[in-house]
């Protein structure tokens, strides 16, 4: 352990918040590595179109925006690696992070792991994941050209992705547990497809089972205001919310709220000294790309301040300076 290289900062996740933070830290010559277990750009990268990010008046494809974030961070020297973090250990002035079973040491850590798709938990969902059950319309929608689909959910994501899927599907049944909670703008857009018969909305309806025939999803059994019925379909897309990616912290001393989100102070510091959090994984986050980017920048400044203090504590007169 004594001869292991110590990084200035390890960032867990490589979504918009971490990538923005990486731009700020690397511009100040702070040695920075980001570990991402999935897609660089996070949830933004698999969003069809981002319409509310400043600077793009006509909107921008999620993958393109994520690529721009990545290119800018890498231009300043951010190192992005694929790897899954399973543990953070507090070793005093340094933190030890377990990445794919290998230990990495860092002076500071930023957790920006974002959130993952919430599941309905009904029979058939887990069994047919990727084989008729999906959570990403931009990833898998094109497989269902001229076919029937069921979309489950009633929030912004469910309605937005339903509208996107109309590019491919011949018909979509939108299953909503209670009432539509999407924004008024999205509901008005959805209504256009309802009026032409492209989408049917089932309010007060909950999924009971995802049924297969010959190894393929063939229908969704639902409870429609207490009455069970089946909706024939070739595939199911689920958009019922997000869960924070904080499972790897359950054995750590980092404090989480009742939803599993990371608690932070005004400087985005967690309950573990030297560990910070930003973006959708943070308690109180607004779940918007723009605010996640802003939090990443703020976290980077807090990390710089922390590293300055740590260098002074360790008796090192050389500290990162603003540029």
pTM: 0.76
- Per-residue confidence (pLDDT) for residue 321, from 0 to 100: 44
**Burial grade of 246 (CB within 10 A; 0-12, 13-18, 19 or more):** buried
- Per-residue confidence (pLDDT) for residue 272, from 0 to 100: 97
- Per-residue confidence (pLDDT) for residue 263, from 0 to 100: 98
- Per-residue confidence (pLDDT) for residue 323, from 0 to 100: 41
Could you tell me if 180 and 201 are in contact, meaning their C-beta atoms sit under 8 angstroms apart?
A: yes
Task: Return per-residue pLDDT of the chain as tens, 323 residues.
Answer: 445 789 999 999 999 999 999 999 999 999 999 999 989 999 888 787 888 899 999 999 989 999 999 999 999 999 999 999 999 999 999 999 999 999 999 999 999 999 888 999 999 999 998 889 999 888 789 999 999 999 999 999 999 999 999 999 999 999 999 999 999 999 999 999 999 999 999 999 999 999 999 888 999 999 998 899 999 999 999 999 889 999 999 889 999 999 899 999 999 999 999 999 999 999 999 888 999 999 999 999 999 999 999 988 776 544 444 44
- How far apart (Å, rounded) are the C-alpha atoms in residues 172 and 198? 6
HSE-CB at 255 with a 13 A cutoff on CA atoms is 11
Measure Cα distances from 212 to 51, 120, 175, 220, 291 in Å. 36, 17, 18, 9, 41
Could you tell me if 235 and 146 are in contact, meaning their C-beta atoms sit under 8 angstroms apart?
A: no
- How far apart (Å, rounded) are the C-alpha atoms in residues 36 and 200? 38
Identify the structural domains of the chain with CATH numbers, from first to last. 6-117+242-313 (3.50.50.60), 133-238 (3.50.50.60)
């Amino acid at each position: 352990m004594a001869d292991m290289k110590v990084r200035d900062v390890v960032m867990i996740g490589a979504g918009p918040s971490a990538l923005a933070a990486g731009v700020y830290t690397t511009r100040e010559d702070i040695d920075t590595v980001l570990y991402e277990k999935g897609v660089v750009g996070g949830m933004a990268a698999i969003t069809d179109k981002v319409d509310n990010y400043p600077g793009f008046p006509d909107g921008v494809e999620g993958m393109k925006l994520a690529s721009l974030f990545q290119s800018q961070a890498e231009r300043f020297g951010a190192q992005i690696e694929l790897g899954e973090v399973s543990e953070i250990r507090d070793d005093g002035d340094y933190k030890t992070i377990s990445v794919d079973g290998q230990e990495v040491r860092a002076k500071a850590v930023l957790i920006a792991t974002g959130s993952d798709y919430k599941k309905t938990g009904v029979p058939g969902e887990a069994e047919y994941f990727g084989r008729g059950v999906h959570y990403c319309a931009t990833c898998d929608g094109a497989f269902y050209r001229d076919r029937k689909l069921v979309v489950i959910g009633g929030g912004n994501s469910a309605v937005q992705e339903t509208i996107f899927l109309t590019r491919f599907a011949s018909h979509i049944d939108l299953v909503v547990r209670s009432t539509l909670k999407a924004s008024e703008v999205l509901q008005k857009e959805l209504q256009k497809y309802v009026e032409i018969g492209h989408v049917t909305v089932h309010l007060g309806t909950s999924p009971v089972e995802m049924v297969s025939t010959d190894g393929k999803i063939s229908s969704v059994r639902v409870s429609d205001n207490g009455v069970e019925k089946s909706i024939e379909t070739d595939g199911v897309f689920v958009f019922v919310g997000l869960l924070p990616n904080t499972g790897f912290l359950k054995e750590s001393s980092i404090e989480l709220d009742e939803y599993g989100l990371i608690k932070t102070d005004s400087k985005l510091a967690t309950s573990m000294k030297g560990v910070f959090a930003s973006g959708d994984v943070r308690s109180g986050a607004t779940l918007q790309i723009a605010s996640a980017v802003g939090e990443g920048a703020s976290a980077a400044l807090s990390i710089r301040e922390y590293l300055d203090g740590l260098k002074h504590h360790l008796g090192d007169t050389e500290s990162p300076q603003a540029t």
